[in-house]
C-alpha cells in the first residue's frame, strides 16, 4: 500500500474514533453538567434573597434578572450576576437586591481563583455580610465603606466595584421604591 495513503487512513481512523469517544462522553456528562450549573445558580439566588424558596428568570435590557419568590408566590427581591477582575482571574458574584427598599439583601461568590488564605477569603461570611443593607448611593470603596480583607485589597476592590457598577444599571431598570 502507498505509504501516504496509509498515513492518511490511519490519521482519519484515529480522528474518527476520537470524535466518537468525545461525542459519547459529552452525551453522558452533559445532562449532569447542565443540572449542576442550574442547581448552583438556583441555590445562590435563594441564598442572596432571604425568604425566597423558588425563582423566576426574566430578561431586561440584556441583563438577566432572577426574581425570588416565597411559597405563596410573593416577591421577596431580585438577584443578578456580576463579575470583577480579581488577582488571578475573574470573580463571579450573585447579588441580591430589594428594589422596594433600595437596599442589597446579600451577596454570594459564584466562582473565583483567588489565592487561598488571602483573596479567597472574600468567600467568608464576615466579608460578604457587610454588603447587606448597602444602597446604590454608597461609595463601595475598599478600606472606606467596605472593609477590605487584609493583604487582599485587589480582590476586595474587585468585588465592591463590580457590585457598584452592576447595581447602577439595575437601579435604572428598577427605580428605588418602584414595582418589579
Partner 1 sequence: MAKELFFIIIGAVFVNNFVLSRFLGQCPFLGVSSKTETAVGMGMATTFVLTMTAVAAYFLQNYVLAPYGLEPFLQIVSFILVIASLVQLVEMVVLKISPALYNAFGIFLPLITTNCIVMGAALLIPMYKYNLIKSIALGLGAGLGFTLALVLMSGIREEMEFHDVPEALKGPAIVFITAGLLSMIFLGFTGLVPLG
Partner 2 sequence: MQLFKDFINGLWNENPIFRMVIGICSALAVTTAASNGIAMGLALTFVLTCSSILVSLLRSVIPAKVRIPCYIIVVATFTTVVDLFMKAYFPALYEVLGIFIPLIVVNCIVLARAEAFASKVGLARAIADALGMGLGYTWAITLISMIRELMGAGTLFGYRVMGEGFTPWVSAILPPGAFIVMGILVGLINVINRKTAKRTQCH
**Is 87 a residue that touches partner 1 (CB under 8 A)?**
yes
The grid cell for 43 is: 441555590
Q: Work out whether 161 is an interface residue with partner 1 (CB under 8 A).
A: yes
Contact (Cβ atoms closer than 8 angstroms) between residue 60 and residue 173: yes
Residues 102-141 that bind partner 1 (CB under 8 A): none
The Cα 12–Cα 119 span in angstroms is: 47
Query: Given the DSSP bridges, would you call strands 90-98 and 75-85 parallel, antiparallel or unpaired?
Result: antiparallel
DSSP secondary structure letters along 56-94 = EEEEETTEEEEEEE-TT--EEEEEEEEEEE-SSSEEEEE
Report how far residue 169's alpha carbon sits from residue 180's, in angstroms, rounded to the nearest whole number.
15
**Least distance between partner 1 and beta carbon 68 (Å):** 27
Pick the stretch among 5-13, 100-108, 133-141, 170-178 that binds partner 2 (CB under 8 A).
Answer: 5-13
Instruction: Tell the smallest beta-carbon distance from residue 73 to partner 1 (Å).
Output: 35
**Could you list the residues that contact partner 1 (CB under 8 A)?**
18, 22-23, 25-26, 30, 33, 84-90, 153-154, 157-158, 161-162, 165
Given the rule CB under 8 A, which residues bind partner 2? 3, 6-7, 10-11, 14-15, 18, 21-22, 25-26, 29-30, 32-33, 36, 40, 89, 111, 113, 115-118, 151
Amino acid at each position: 500500500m502507498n505509504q501516504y495513503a496509509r498515513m492518511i487512513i490511519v490519521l482519519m481512523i484515529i480522528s474518527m474514533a476520537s470524535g466518537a469517544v468525545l461525542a459519547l462522553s459529552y452525551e453522558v456528562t452533559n445532562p449532569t453538567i447542565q443540572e449542576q450549573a442550574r442547581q448552583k445558580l438556583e441555590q445562590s439566588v435563594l441564598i442572596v434573597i432571604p425568604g425566597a424558596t423558588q425563582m423566576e428568570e426574566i430578561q431586561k435590557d440584556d441583563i438577566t434578572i432572577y426574581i425570588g419568590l416565597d411559597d405563596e408566590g410573593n416577591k421577596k427581591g431580585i438577584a443578578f450576576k456580576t463579575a470583577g477582575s480579581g488577582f488571578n482571574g475573574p470573580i463571579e458574584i450573585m447579588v441580591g437586591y430589594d428594589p422596594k427598599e433600595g437596599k442589597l439583601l446579600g451577596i454570594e461568590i459564584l466562582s473565583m481563583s483567588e489565592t487561598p488564605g488571602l483573596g479567597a477569603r472574600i468567600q467568608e461570611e464576615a466579608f460578604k455580610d457587610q454588603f447587606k443593607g448597602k444602597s446604590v448611593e454608597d461609595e463601595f470603596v475598599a478600606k472606606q465603606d467596605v472593609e477590605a480583607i487584609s493583604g487582599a485589597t485587589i480582590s476586595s476592590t474587585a468585588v465592591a466595584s463590580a457590585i457598584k457598577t452592576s447595581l447602577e444599571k439595575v437601579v435604572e431598570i428598577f427605580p428605588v421604591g418602584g414595582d418589579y
